[in-house]
Amino acid sequence: MKNLSVDLEDIKHKYSNNISCIKRRVTICAGTGCLANGVQKIYDTFQSELEKIGLDVLVEVNFTAEKKEGILLSESGCQGFCQMGPLVTIDPDNILYVKVKEKDVKSIVEKTLGQNIILKNLLYKNPSTKEHCKGKEEIDFYKKQSRFVLKDCGVINPDDIHEYIFEGGYEGARKAILNYDEKEICNEVINSGLKGRGGGGFLTGKKWELTRIENSEKKYVICNGDEGDPGAFMDRSIMEGNPHSVIEGMIIAGKAIGADEGFVYVRSEYPLAVKRIKYAVEVAEKYGLLGDNIFGSDFNFKINVMEGAGAFVCGEETALMASIQGNRGMPNPKPPFPAQRGLWDKPTVINNVETLSTIPLILKFGAGEFIKIGSSFSSGTKTFALTGHVANTGLIEVPFGTTLREIVYDIGGGVTDKRGKISNEGFKMVQIGGPSGGCLTEEHLDLPLDFDSLTKIGAMIGSGGLVVMNKDTCMVQVSRFFMQFTQNESCGKCVLCREGTKQMLALLDDIIEGRGTIDTINLLEELSKSVKVGSLCGLGKTAPNPILSALNYFREEFEAHVVQQRCPSAKCKNLLMPEIIVELCKGCGLCIRKCPVDAITGEKSKPHTLHQEKCIKCGECIEVCRFNAVTGG
């Protein structure tokens, strides 16, 4: 059955006409993080409180009916500033309220919406200047970014296709289908310099071209939404906040390679992303943007949504295809590459969520405009999940070439100590690229972040995880954390990965628990290099990266564990020998109250005494001391 040609301009006109009568818009962040903080109750309370004071509330724009005046109450995807959620924005006033609770809603409705009074207690307060910031344009976290792919995330209603189209959605797909042939689309993406945002950094247009030239009646497009790095949530946020951008990118990819079918592979741990991407596919089909004869052309394309079972290895493209085909998610040797023999042995293009969301913008604005953004080695922007010991955690987007210093200190607001306070001297390192990545230290703070500069120092962009760590972090334990993760996630197909990661984990345990020697460190390094070279897929080949990177920059910390039997960060309990420094102890009594075995005694305002024969080395006294008077020995 043929679909009617969708009229984007007509939809934009009707939406513009109806939205013009809306007096105010209250947008509530409904990404996963804010939902976990009770946003649904906040939304429901807004609706009831608005009705109580007689304000007309609209939960959607009356697209086909007569326009109606009132206040639009809508949900959005992740607005990025996760540290300050739940977030509520009020437009056109440009007000951003942070850490909103259900009990705050009544005041917002009565005072801000009813009397135009700004509630200072709900505004973000700059920790340096102590000034209240009315809106996003005044907050460093936002104004230091360049939101390109994330521009509409956290702004538009992800379930409203009309708003997506009103903001320019599906214009790139229309241009690709009606104005370009397959080779021209591939060339446009090649000329943009877009590299895959999933970690490998391969030229996207080149991958498409290699698939396009394959002679086959059936081809596939796969969106890899199996984001599994600890602390990473970039792809999830895009699928939750702007699912139609992913669909549009897949349509363009399908046209470019001659495919008529695609799969969105999303891990089942992302239920909200699954829900919104499925609904977006359903609505796109209803409007003729998926199916037969899209935009009245002879191009047909359909999309299936499949949930993965949460295996990290399925992020590897051959394992992902095996999973789609109903087999166990295990990687296969390459070549042949997916472009030659992919899903069901047919030519297949696989891109991650962020890559596909970038494609419509390239087609819409042109490769020439896109390549102006970023560095000479890596065009465009990159989204990062900024987490760890940093004042402002959340989802950010910056041009390639931005330095680590700008991200950590300008956008992130600085490094925090163990009590959550900003510490100018506290920076130790950033783990970039998750379990496949490496360390960036103080010497790398001014290094431009792009694919080439990071490769030169043995690190990688990866999917975009940035975990900031302060000087209280033990690098041996960090290495063990990532090795435990990859060891658990190894599919077990190849011996080097299956057994090698297990042995590396055991060697790290020996170091942490006081059984290690210099030979242990040397064996760990040698084994890491062997696993890196000999493993079958990307999981095994990159699993040793955190260890090798940590040994490169923090070898003396590993050596302190085995030579001095001491953990410099006082995190390894088996190596702790807590000791109170008399000169620094103020006699506050906090360590006495926290000690679970009464191993500390002393009078108030006088130096305390720690009795080693009673101490169980739990480290509580070290953690709670505000004067750094307790050391780990």
262-279 pLDDT, tens digit each: 999 999 899 999 999 999
CATH class of the domain comprising 8-143: alpha beta
Backbone torsions φ then ψ of 68, nearest 5 degrees: -135, 135
* Residue 261 neighbours by CB distance under 10 Å: 18
484-542 pLDDT, tens digit each: 999 988 888 889 999 999 999 999 999 999 999 999 999 999 999 999 999 888 888 88
Rounded mean pLDDT, 413-439: 86
**CATH assignment of 576-631, among 3.30.565.10, 3.30.70.20, 3.90.25.10, 2.40.160.100:** 3.30.70.20
111-137 pLDDT, tens digit each: 999 899 999 999 999 888 889 999 999
Evaluate whether 8-143 and 476-563 have a shared fold.
no
Of 250, 239, 245, the residue nearest 348 (C-alpha): 250
Distance of CA 550 to the CA centre of its chain: 23
- Identify the pLDDT of residue 68: 65
Domain ranges of the chain: 8-143, 168-370, 381-473, 476-563, 576-631
pTM equals 0.90
CATH class of the domain comprising 476-563: mainly alpha
- Identify the pLDDT of residue 633: 67
Give me the DSSP letters along 388-421.
ESBSS-EEEEEETT-BHHIIIIIIS--BB-TTS-
Q: Rounded to an integer, what distance in angstroms lies between the CA atom of residue 228 and that of residue 207?
A: 23
Residue 568 has pLDDT above 80, yes or no: yes
192-202 pLDDT, tens digit each: 999 999 877 88
Lowest mean pLDDT among 4-18, 153-167, 221-235, 539-553: 4-18
Q: Is residue 458 a contact partner of residue 552, using CB atoms and an 8 Å limit?
A: yes
CATH class of the domain comprising 381-473: alpha beta
DSSP strand E in 162-301: where?
A: 220-225, 261-267
CATH 1.10.10.10 fits 168-370, yes or no: no
Q: Rounded to an integer, what distance in angstroms lies between the CA atom of residue 27 and that of residue 256?
A: 36
Q: Is residue 257 a contact partner of residue 212, using CB atoms and an 8 Å limit?
A: yes
Residues forming a β-bridge with 351 = 223
